[in-house]
Structure 1
Amino acid sequence: MSPLYSPHVQGWGSNRRLVGRARELGTLQVFVDAVATDGGSLLVVGEAGVGKTALLDATAAHAAELDIRVLHASGVEFEAEVSFAGLHQLVAPLAAELAALPPGSRRAIGVAVGLLEGAAPDRLALTNALLALLARAADQTALLVVVDDLQWLDRASATLFGSLARRLGGTGIGLLGVVRTGEGSVFEGVGLPELAIGPLDDDAATVLLTEAFPELPPRAARQVLTEAQGNPLALIELPAHMGPSAAEPPLGRTPVGRRLQLTFARRIDALPVECRDQLLLAALDGTGELFPSISVAELEPAERARLIRIHPVTRGIRFRHPLTRSAVVELSTGEERREAHRRLAEQHPVGSERHAWHLAEAASGPDEQTAQLLEESALKTKGRGDPVGAIELLLRAAELSPGPDEHHRRVMFATYLGADVTGDLTDPQALVTAHGTHGRTLVAAVAAAAYLVNSGGDIDTVHRLLLGALRNVGRPVAAWDALLGEIIYVLQSNCSFGSRAELAADYWAALDRLGPEVPEILVLLGNTYLEPARRAGPSLPLLDEAIAGIDEQADHADAVRLGIAAMYVDRMAGCRAALWRVVEHGRGGGAIAAAIKAFVLLGFDGVLSGDWDGALQLADEGLALTTRHHYRLLGGFLQYDRAVVAAARGDRETVRRLTDDLVAWAAPNRIGFVLQLAAHARAVDALGNGEFETAYRHAAEICSPETVPAHGPAALWALLDLVEAAVRAGLTAQARAHVADIRRSGVADLSPRLALVAAGAAGMTAPATSFREAFDTALATPGASRWPFAQARIRLAYAERLRRVRSTTEARHQLTNALDTFERLGAVPWAVRARAELRACGVPTVRPAAGPTTALTPQEREIAELAAAGLTNKQIGERLYLSPRTVSSHLYNLFPKLGIGSRAALRDALEHLPSTNT
């Protein structure tokens, strides 16, 4: 093993060996050696002063010996609220490489760090751009990225670096992160390998102290060893402040970190005033850059006192230890800190987040101009994908607001964003009461409404609250601002959840009164989400265009809203990747509420597209979040996923239990959408069990008095159930009337799924002379296999009619395909019916043994190929935007299809499969 040295043992800059760290150094050396040939990530965890930074420096020195390029970034305690501050540190030395990137990647990074203006990039695009930038930096030699003090890294950078850390295998790029024990970091939930750094043992501590201070009297040495508790930094620093006779009494239970900070404080106190002023600027700035206002000459005493180091080439400043920086700030007065922030604000462009943040820290009292700058920064920060940071900036802006109106507005807006995006579902009623008449303002209304909607409150109360607030808005509005857009969005959602004609009518009347310049996303949502059967058609080109650009959407709320717009018109496939990114952001502690909504949307998509096991896993994880954060309404949607899958699979007790619970709280609050979801699950349950009149009654709760009511979009999910129940219950006239209504509504033009359903329903009611044409049209619908349960039920109905006219050969073909789908989905009641029909056609229904010729779905095949290539479930999930549990479920299902029992047999089994699946 080559020797590794650290400057953090005795005099800073000396090359004394690190004592007692052979194991840790060995692990780090192995990691660095692997970076040169492969890549990867490692997290170093330990207490303050335990030597993490010294080990980092030693590791960086070893990397340099191997000609590995090293980049540094560090979290800074006093700028953790500045979005992408950590990314800026990493990007700053790579200007040449950044300029050479493709325009899209260059723009993504430039917008994130504030170098360019433009639409914010989404998290995946930014991660890919950063990976491309680092790959270019590692083009000639391997690259090691060292990120210290992760516990203070801004959340946006930490989330980004966490995504990056999982993708470095095989890149020649290594990421070495360091976090203080117990402080918490996004990285600690990423699942990276960790190296824990503990205190030195007694023997190593004695050796270190003796080598550093050979003249220290035995009594003083014992005192230092006792107080240091094996902490290397304490062993080096504490003796410098002990008298020759060690008369200073021990501090007993004083924590080591605090004792060290007091040690650094004494050293800072001894500096000239001018040096302390410059040191405070450097401590509060956090960038490590030397602005013109910071004098290198005046900082030299601090460097001699081993408090900082000034790089000989870049002249950048590095504090010896975070405790040093903390001590500098703690020793300053409030006025000294404000003056330093004022000077630092001048170094940043007006309009930048750093400019606004430093001005806010410089404020000694209310300041509307600074509050406005912070509010503008909050909106930019939200648009860059950091809603948590946006809320923090809004609350700081509220603190600086001179008047109660602006204070209240900003607090309420932050409260609303918490409910809509970050999972902070707070009842704003106490705030409204505290501000009296301010409770009638737009922002108070939208905050209160968002709370009531998400917690499953009364639909009519929310409706009156929002309409009342909108009456105070000018007519028509001169310009749509963010707040007005949000209140319309919440009103729209509430009307959809209510699913009543009068609610929708009130919504359109309010929108007409406000004027024609409605934001595009609100137009899409109104037409495709509130009343899709009546209004969606003309908006589909605009929606398709928006979905095509969803990867450019960094704002999690906007990505979710596009998913909502796509939901009823069956365009969720184009939104899946973006919604999975929202889920991952929420899992990392970011936009929790947005993530729950993404769980809901992906769950609905899984139910319709036949990924039932995936939908159940999403429901389980999502329900845990809705319970923890009290999002009762969204939890109800996830309960529906469980209920309707249970219904299709014949689990009647689960259906009863879940739907009874949904009705119990949704009925008194008049939440029509939830009641319709419960009715749908009950209809599917009754259909599967031959209770056709009961099934028809439940389906008619959704589709009556119109088959496709404009104000009840859930009807678009129940049309096939309604017609099939009517046909099987012998209600022929009603069934034909429903089919005629479906044809008149034009919903078949909205999506391939609805075209499949409309044609299949027509086949069920068509006369003997024309049913073949209708069913064949249904099954020839492009992409019909994307909706396997609906397709299989239509095949079953087709086969039943074919058998009645004695076309048994044709019937067998349809039944065989239908049975295969029912068995794959676990739709037991329908599989039983299909087997009975096959027996009636003279075909034995013994289930054939699975073998290597059994067809896989396209997704199953892709998962199988990735698993055969050696990827883990987690890696496959990251590649395909699925959860590891969903991947595991797919593998569990496809192993019997291939006639194998383990991953080891996948490669051979896949070689015997046909090149395409049908």
Structure 2
Amino acid sequence: MLSAIGWAVERAHPYACLRQLLMPVRHEISALPQANRDILEPAIAPVRTLPPPDPLAVQGAVLTLLQRLGIQRPVVVTVDDVQDCDRPSLDVLGSVLRHLTDDGVSLLLAARGDLAPPGLPTELPYVRLAPLAPQAAADFLDQQPGAPKGRRRLELLEEAQGNPLALLELCRLAQPDTDLAFPGHRSLLSPYPRPDTEVELAALPTATQHALLYAALAAPDEPLATVTTAVGTPDLGVWAPAEAAGVITVADRRIWFRHPLVRRAARARQPAQLRRAACLGLSRVTGSPVYRAQYQAAAALGPDESVAAALEETAWGTQNAVTAATALEQAAQLSPDGAARARRLAEALAAAHLVGDPDWVGDLYRQFTQGAADAELTCLAAAAMSGALSLASFQQEAFDLLLDVREHALPADGPLALALASVAAAVADQSALPHHRSQLAALFARSDSRSASAVATGALTRLDEPAVRSALRAFVSVAAAAHGAGQLLRRLEFPHLGALPDAPERLVRRLAVAWIAYQADEADTCLRQYRKADTQLRARKALGLRGWSLAPMADTLLATGWWAEAETLLAEGSDAAAVLGQTRVHADLDALAATLAALRGRSTPELTATGPNWCAFDLAENRATHARMLRARALAAAAQGDWARTFRQLRALFDTDGSPLHPFLSPRTIAELATAAQRIGREEEAAQVLAQVRTQQGERPTPRMTLLLHHATAVVDRAADPEEHFQLALVNPEGERWPWERARARLSYAVWLRRSRQPLQAREQLTAALEIAERLGAAPLAATVRAELRASGAAADTEPDGALEGLTAQQRQIVEMAADGLSNREIGEQLFLSPRTVGTHLYNSYPKLGVSRRHQLRDLLAATDRGAD
């Protein structure tokens, strides 16, 4: 391995980079022919005493040396920051790249910027490294020593924009405060990041350096005209030197810095007086009230009520939870009055809970508890802290905090109690602990009470509207009783689905209605409300509030056949949960992603094993997560034909007496449990669980549960008439809303029909089940149905061998790799093809194979293998 790093300071020294590269193998130079030795030894000598050698001769000598080294063993040459290499060394590298044919020598060059440095071969293959994905950036940052937590961590991730070097440098700078001259904007006071950038900036004209200070302090989306006006010059030419030096780009009426560290450097290198003046200048010309308050806060020299009031006034109007929480925290820090500080801290807690970072909420809660506050603020702060604890998986601690506040700080006031009861209901649903549900009753009773003089103030005014109160009371009632969701849903007025964004209170109401519809198995209502809410929560960066809705929304999408949408939601939501440290949410989404993989037949040992997120907390107090995990494992085992393991996982969703691990999630696996039990002869045990589930569901279960109970009864209840219950499980057209469950019921019925010597009727059910399975992309289910079709005497499909023979060798190779689950990009990397070329080959192969979708390739090749056997 030969390595070198370009250094801008050495650009004037010929072959400085080459000297770095060849010093480890300088002893090999003596083995070269005399002519090559005479060229190379002076070129890489530390002190030059002779005139520079002929460049072409140096290039030839280096090529000879590398070829000689490559004969002995493989050689890898790496040069980082190649754009800063001296010109002669760069010419040598270019010559080697053009003329080297030895497979034993490989070169890897890394450069900053959008283009390859001039002088390198234009045909050189290159890979543009995109910024780290949000989750990868968060993981990388968290591995650094002294990595920040809470708000500072989120601000650092936002500032670094996924750049690894920026993450390292900014993490180094994000140490405990050493200078509090700007309480509202501490990041301005960090030391200067990188010396090489200082040289670049110092070479610019003074007027340009002054203008860059304003651009660096301005909000990233502040218009160019606003920044230029604040600078005090109408001449856009002031930016030209910075553009020519590659420091910034002026485009789309905005100023873009080339690198996050350059932005930080442009402001950090200037004295505090100039930074303060720039912030005040920007505050006078910006058209955004939010930014005006932020600039004033950045320029504040100490507590200032006028600035704090401006921050508080503009916070909730930003439609951005991160901006709101930051502004409210800054307002609290700038508040000279203790009561105002407590109020703003409580509001900041509520906003930070919307953001969803438990560490940030915890920091604010510690600050809040250090001062005195009234009952309303204490309740608001406790509700936010409890919600954050729940997102981080600490359900017992979250619920105990609410109980403590109820005992010591909660007056007989409806809105206050309703706020706590709503959070407690969400925690109780996640924990599914019986004592949590029983204790909800006390909180719920107090939410109905209301003193004559009690008037909701502050943030609680948003919960005091009649429609919001009704939705939240129904939400708490369903969580406490675990049934009756359908009746309560019918009494509620649903929020409209118009294009206008929701006010905060309507958004809370919409989420409550969606969750009640989820519990009532009203999938259409549930998804309409969740989709509307989710779009807004993403736009507002309210990922904390969104953390409560992701799992039920994804679960409903899976149950109703919207698998592609569920996949997108799970991937994006999982990234957000990882960035914010929402351990429980991340584990929920991992379990649901594993469920989807198993349904599609893409399950792997890693998906079915207990991953790090599933081990990171106590499953005993997170029963909802545990239930999702168990079902994912069961479906993965079923896809592999391991029915004994499938039964064990599903059986664990119920206690020994048949009581559900989770009152909503467990009963909805009863048909899957019955099917697995039938496979291994455990029908009697499953029938006992079935009886318990039937009792728990009451006299009027939801239509979905009614169909599942009929399906399970037909399979394992020996006292019942199987045909009658199969028909009842299939007669209701509403069952089509849950296509996976409907296809499973048809398959079970067909198996019974075939064994009852009714093959024609069995084939009718199997044909319908196969159509559903293929539409969903449920490969394991489709394979099982095809096997039953053959057993029932159906004509075999066209033999796949003949179709495969019609493919070219490359097409067949691509088809086989796609059937193994590889993406177009992964196939292309192995075959040295572009993803688009791979997609074209697949598109041209489908008609020859008689398939229309990618997921059908697996079954096709499986049939080929069976035919070969």
Which bin holds the TM-score, normalised by the shorter protein? 0.5 to 0.7
C-alpha separation in 2, matches of 1:817 and 1:692: 24
Unaligned 5+ residue runs, structure 1?
A: 1-45, 48-181, 187-251, 268-284, 309-317, 851-872, 874-883, 904-918
C-alpha separation in 1, matches of 2:351 and 2:715: 48
Distance 1:901 1:677, change over 3 A: closer
Kindly indicate whether structure 1 or structure 2 has the higher relative contact order, using CA contacts under 8 Å at least 6 residues apart: 1
SS in 2 for 1:718: helix
Distance 1:513 1:422, change over 3 A: closer
Of 322, 326, 331 in structure 2, the residue corresponding to residue 388 of structure 1 is 322
Query: Does the 8 Å contact 2:655/2:661 carry over to 1?
Result: no
Of 448, 469, 472 in structure 2, the residue corresponding to residue 522 of structure 1 is 472
Q: Does residue 534 in structure 1 map to residue 489 in structure 2? A: no
In the alignment, which residue of structure 1 is the partner of 2:314?
377
SS in 1 for 2:683: coil
SS in 2 for 1:519: helix
Q: Does residue 734 in structure 1 map to residue 678 in structure 2? A: no
Of 572, 581, 585 in structure 1, the residue corresponding to residue 535 of structure 2 is 581
Query: Does the 8 Å contact 2:713/2:720 carry over to 1?
Result: no
C-alpha separation in 2, matches of 1:759 and 1:801: 14
CA-CA distance at 1:618 after TM superposition = 4.4
In the alignment, which residue of structure 1 is the partner of 2:398?
462
SS in 2 for 1:545: coil
Distance 1:421 1:567, change over 3 A: farther
In the alignment, which residue of structure 2 is the partner of 1:100?
none
Identity in percent: 24
SS in 2 for 1:453: helix
CA-CA distance at 1:394 after TM superposition = 0.7
Per-residue CA shift, 1:349-379, capped at 9, x if unaligned? xxx7688668868976535576355334322
CA-CA distance at 1:759 after TM superposition = 4.0
In the alignment, which residue of structure 2 is the partner of 1:407?
341
In the alignment, which residue of structure 2 is the partner of 1:805?
756
CA-CA distance at 1:792 after TM superposition = 0.8
* Correspondence list, 1:12-27, <5 A: none
SS in 2 for 1:380: coil
SS in 1 for 2:666: helix
In the alignment, which residue of structure 2 is the partner of 1:102?
none
In the alignment, which residue of structure 1 is the partner of 2:629?
678
CA-CA distance at 1:793 after TM superposition = 0.7
CA-CA distance at 1:338 after TM superposition = 10
Distance 1:531 1:662, change over 3 A: farther
In the alignment, which residue of structure 2 is the partner of 1:791?
742
SS in 1 for 2:411: coil
Aligned-CA RMSD value: 6.0
In the alignment, which residue of structure 2 is the partner of 1:476?
412
Q: Does residue 490 in structure 1 map to residue 423 in structure 2? A: yes
In the alignment, which residue of structure 2 is the partner of 1:132?
none
Query: Does the 8 Å contact 2:357/2:544 carry over to 1?
Result: yes
Kindly provide the amino acid, as one letter, of the partner of residue 331 in structure 2.
A
In the alignment, which residue of structure 1 is the partner of 2:246?
none
CA-CA distance at 1:464 after TM superposition = 1.0
SS in 2 for 1:714: coil
CA-CA distance at 1:500 after TM superposition = 1.4
CA-CA distance at 1:700 after TM superposition = 4.2
C-alpha separation in 1, matches of 2:603 and 2:272: 68
C-alpha separation in 1, matches of 2:206 and 2:309: 39
C-alpha separation in 1, matches of 2:503 and 2:800: 48
C-alpha separation in 2, matches of 1:443 and 1:769: 53
Kindly provide the amino acid, as one letter, of the partner of residue 465 in structure 1.
L
Report the more deviating stretch, 687-696 or 503-512: 687-696
C-alpha separation in 2, matches of 1:430 and 1:184: 24
Query: Does the 8 Å contact 2:694/2:709 carry over to 1?
Result: no
C-alpha separation in 2, matches of 1:265 and 1:697: 68
Per-residue CA shift, 1:614-657, capped at 9, x if unaligned? 54454444434433432211111122123323444566753774
Query: Does the 8 Å contact 1:387/1:421 carry over to 2?
Result: yes
* Correspondence list, 1:242-257, <5 A: none
Distance 1:827 1:661, change over 3 A: farther
C-alpha separation in 2, matches of 1:651 and 1:902: 15
Of 589, 592, 596 in structure 2, the residue corresponding to residue 645 of structure 1 is 596
Of 709, 714, 721 in structure 1, the residue corresponding to residue 672 of structure 2 is 721
CA-CA distance at 1:429 after TM superposition = 5.3
C-alpha separation in 1, matches of 2:386 and 2:372: 15
Kindly provide the amino acid, as one letter, of the partner of residue 496 in structure 1.
D
Query: Does the 8 Å contact 1:371/1:397 carry over to 2?
Result: yes
Query: Does the 8 Å contact 1:724/1:761 carry over to 2?
Result: yes
TM-score if structure 2 supplies the norm length?
Answer: 0.53
Of 245, 255, 262 in structure 1, the residue corresponding to residue 206 of structure 2 is 262
Per-residue CA shift, 1:869-891, capped at 9, x if unaligned? xxxx9xxxxxxxxxx99xx99x9
In the alignment, which residue of structure 1 is the partner of 2:56?
none
CA-CA distance at 1:668 after TM superposition = 5.9
Query: Does the 8 Å contact 2:290/2:314 carry over to 1?
Result: yes
C-alpha separation in 1, matches of 2:659 and 2:381: 36
* Correspondence list, 1:694-705, <5 A: 695-704=646-655
Distance 1:776 1:420, change over 3 A: same
C-alpha separation in 1, matches of 2:791 and 2:563: 30
C-alpha separation in 1, matches of 2:690 and 2:545: 42
SS in 1 for 2:653: helix
SS in 1 for 2:763: helix
In the alignment, which residue of structure 1 is the partner of 2:495?
546
Q: Does residue 654 in structure 1 map to residue 588 in structure 2? A: no
C-alpha separation in 2, matches of 1:642 and 1:800: 30
Distance 1:333 1:536, change over 3 A: same
In the alignment, which residue of structure 2 is the partner of 1:744?
698
Query: Does the 8 Å contact 2:714/2:722 carry over to 1?
Result: yes
Query: Does the 8 Å contact 1:803/1:811 carry over to 2?
Result: yes
Query: Does the 8 Å contact 2:527/2:553 carry over to 1?
Result: no
In the alignment, which residue of structure 2 is the partner of 1:449?
386
CA-CA distance at 1:677 after TM superposition = 1.8
In the alignment, which residue of structure 2 is the partner of 1:161?
none
CA-CA distance at 1:685 after TM superposition = 4.6
In the alignment, which residue of structure 2 is the partner of 1:607?
558
CA-CA distance at 1:432 after TM superposition = 1.6
Unaligned 5+ residue runs, structure 2?
A: 1-112, 115-157, 163-195, 212-221, 240-252, 258-262, 450-463, 802-823, 825-834, 855-869
In the alignment, which residue of structure 1 is the partner of 2:352?
418
